[in-house]
Amino acid sequence: MIVDRQGRRFRNLRVSLTSACNYACTYCVPNGKRLVAAQDELSAEAMARGVAYLIEAAGIERLRITGGEPLVSPKLETFMTAVGQMGLEDISLTTNGQLLAKKLPLLVNAGIRRINVSLDTLDPGAFRGIARGGDLATVLDGMEQARAAGMKIKVNMVPLRGQNLDQVMPLLDYCLERGYELRFIELMRMGHLASDSNTFLQQFVSLQQLLSLIGERYEYLQANAPVDATAVRYQIPGLGHFGVIANESVPFCRTCSRLRLSSTGWLHGCLSSSNRHYVGDLLDKPRHQALPSLQRLLVKALGDKQEVAFSGGATVMKIIGG
C-alpha cells in the first residue's frame, strides 16, 4: 500500500468516462461550447482494466463514475458491467440527470444504488442560463424515476452569487421533501476560475453564508461524516440532512483519499496540482508488466496532494469530473 507522510492513501477512485457533455455550465465551460469526446479516449475495456489494476496497486475500495457526462458515453454499459464484477465496496455515479430516465434500467441492472445529480436551480430560465443545455423537467422526472427504483440520491448544487443564490432554500426544501440529500459545493478555483480571481470572488458563496441563509428558516446540527469525507454534513432534526463541500472554508486536503483517472488515460492525484501521469499505455499490458510501473506513478501522484488546502488548479473540471 502506498501511504504518504500524512498517512494519506488512495481509497476512492473517480473515473471520467468521457469528456463529452450535453451541458456547458457557465462555471465549467466559459466559452459555452458543447464538449465532445477527446479523440484519444480509452476504450471501455482499457478503462475497466485501469480500475482493476488500481484496485490492486493502490488499494482502491470505492469507485465513482463521472465525466464530462457519463450517461452520454457509449462506453457506459461495457464499463459498468466490468467494474461491477471487481468486488468494490461501492460504485456510484455523478450525472447531470438529463439522460437519467433513459439509462435507469442500465444503471439498476449494473447494481448502481447511489447517484449524485448536479442541479443548480429549480427555475427553468436560470437553468437554461447556467447549464446552457438540457431541460429542467427532464432532470426532475429522471430523479423521480430513480427514487421510485430505490436509488439513494444526492443533489449537487454550486451556489453562485448573482445566478442562483435565491434557489438555495427552494432546492433545500425540494430535496428535504423527497429524501434527497442536498450537497452545496463551494465554487472551486478550477480552469478559467483559477486565473480569473475577479469572476471567482464575484460568484463565490461561502459555507458561512450558506449556513446563515439556511439558519433563518431551520435549526440544524452538525452530523457525523466519514473521516475522509469531502462534505461537512448537517442534520435538520425531523426533516433530513444536507452537506457542504467547502473546499475554501473547510479544506479537506489533509484527509483526501481521492485519485482520478481521465478518459484519455491520465492519473491525477490532486485537483489543485497541474501534474498528471500517463497510464494509458500501461493499460494494454498484462498485469505483471503494468503493475510495477503503475506503482511508481502512484507514488508520484500521491506526492502531488496539497499539504493543507486547495489552492486552485488549471485542470478543468469538465475533463476530470469533480
Site string for ligand SAM, 106-145 (x = CB under 6 A): ------------x---------------------------
Minimum distance, C-beta of residue 189 to ligand SAM, in the bound complex (Å): 7
- Residue of the chain from 94, 164, 230, 257 that contacts ligand SAM (CB under 6 A): 94
Q: Does 24 bind ligand SAM (CB under 6 A)?
A: no
C-alpha cell at 263: 478518459
**28 with 131: CB under 8 angstroms?**
no
Binding positions for ligand SAM, 26-65, rule CB under 6 A: 27-28
Would you say 183 or 233 has its CB closer to ligand SAM? Answer: 183
Handedness of CA 215, 217, 223, 227 (dihedral sign): negative
Would you say 58 or 131 has its CB closer to ligand SAM? Answer: 131
Q: Does 205 bind ligand SAM (CB under 6 A)?
A: no
Minimum distance, C-beta of residue 281 to ligand SAM, in the bound complex (Å): 26
How many CB atoms within 10 Å of residue 314? 13
What are the helix (H) ranges across the chain? 44-58, 76-83, 100-109, 124-131, 136-148, 168-178, 192-195, 197-203, 207-215, 287-303, 317-320
Torsion of CA 166, 167, 170, 172, to 10 degrees: -120
- Residue of the chain from 37, 44, 69, 313 that contacts ligand SAM (CB under 6 A): 69
Minimum distance, C-beta of residue 2 to ligand SAM, in the bound complex (Å): 26
Pairing relation of β-strands 266-268 and 12-16?
unpaired
Neighbouring-strand partners of residue 244:
184, 232
Q: Which residues bind ligand SAM (CB under 6 A)?
A: 21, 27-28, 66-67, 69, 94-96, 118, 156, 158, 185, 187-188, 190, 193, 317-318, 321-322
